[in-house]
């Protein structure tokens, strides 16, 4: 159940992050950015701030996805 929730939150976070960073990606790339961003963001956010819960996970997911997009644009392109 947590895996499905991670994909749903990751898809939403990836959508928000790609629109905020003005990145044109397909559906699978957007979901992948969101899921990996959710993993990165939630781990970092929970470690640094100590927040728990769904709101912290979503904020962390969006921040992680934005960070991932920035890293991609900076170092890959």
Question: Which phi and psi angles does 52 have, rounded to 5°?
Answer: -130, 160
pTM: 0.59
Residue 54 confidence (pLDDT)? 62
- Taking alpha carbons only, the member of 4, 20, 9 closest to residue 60 is 9
Paired tokens of 69: 């997009």
How many H helices and E strands in the chain? 3, 0
For residue range 19-64, list pLDDT tens digits in order: 888 888 888 888 888 888 877 877 776 666 665 556 667 777 888 8
DSSP secondary structure of 36-72: HHHHHHHHHHHHHT---SHHHHHHHHHHHHHHHHHHH
Which carries the bigger pLDDT value, residue 3 or residue 73?
73
Q: What is the mean pLDDT of residues 4-13?
A: 82
């Amino acid at each position: 159940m947590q895996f499905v929730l991670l994909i749903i939150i990751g898809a939403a976070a990836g959508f928000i992050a790609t629109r905020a960073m003005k990145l044109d990606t397909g559906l699978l790339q957007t979901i992948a950015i969101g899921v990996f961003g959710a993993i990165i963001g939630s781990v970092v956010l929970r470690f640094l701030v100590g927040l728990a819960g769904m709101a912290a996970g979503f904020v962390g997911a969006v921040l992680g996805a934005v960070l991932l997009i920035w890293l991609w644009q900076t170092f890959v392109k």
